[in-house]
């Protein structure tokens, strides 16, 4: 189990209030607003923490650069992917997208 999987596992046991508090703390560290890809629409809609929440909702479609690799959340949660705002959350990029096109049997 890697760092990200351990972090996800520890969050499963959180109450909604604990989860809200954790999400607030993570969002405060999110460096997306300093990224060239982050745009006015995302700022206006206060979109943040795409690594957890998934793709930008109707704001970001054009990729420029991604500064996720230097964000403190990347090392804290052991993220392996980037461009979460256009490609989906870490969980989606790791697992859900990987399952697309595969068969159960
Ligand atoms: S890794 Fe990227 S999306 Fe996640 S909090 Fe940091 S800057 Fe935001
Ligand atoms: S997820 Fe990456 S590319 Fe998107 S705004 Fe955040 S730092 Fe920039």
Predicted pLDDT at 13 = 85
Predicted pLDDT at 99 = 66
Is pLDDT larger for residue 104 or for residue 18?
Answer: 18
Question: According to the 3-state scheme, what is the secondary structure of the chain?
Answer: CCHHHHHHHHHHCCCHHHHHHHHHHHHHHCCHHHCCCCCHHHHHCCCCCHHHHCCCCCCCCCCCCCCHHHCHHHHHHCCCCCCHHHHCCHHHHHHHHHHCCCCCC
Contact 35 CB / ligand 2 (< 6 Å): yes
Q: What is the pLDDT of residues 46-58, one digit of tens each?
A: 999 999 999 999 9
Predicted pLDDT at 100 = 60
Closest listed residue to residue 30, CA positions, set 7, 4, 60, 51: 51
Contact 32 CB / ligand 2 (< 6 Å): yes
Contact 73 CB / ligand 2 (< 6 Å): no
């Amino acid at each position: 189990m890697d760092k990200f999987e351990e972090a996800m596992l520890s969050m499963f046991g959180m109450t909604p209030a604990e989860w809200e508090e954790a999400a607030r703390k993570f969002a405060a560290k999110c460096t997306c607003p300093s990224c060239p890809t982050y745009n006015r629409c995302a700022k206006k809609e206060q979109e943040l923490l795409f690594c957890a929440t998934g793709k930008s909702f109707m704001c970001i479609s054009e990729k420029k650069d991604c500064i996720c690799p230097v964000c403190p959340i990347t090392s804290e949660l052991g993220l392996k992917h980037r461009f979460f705002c256009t490609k989906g959350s870490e969980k989606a990029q790791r697992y859900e997208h990987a399952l697309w096109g595969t068969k159960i049997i």
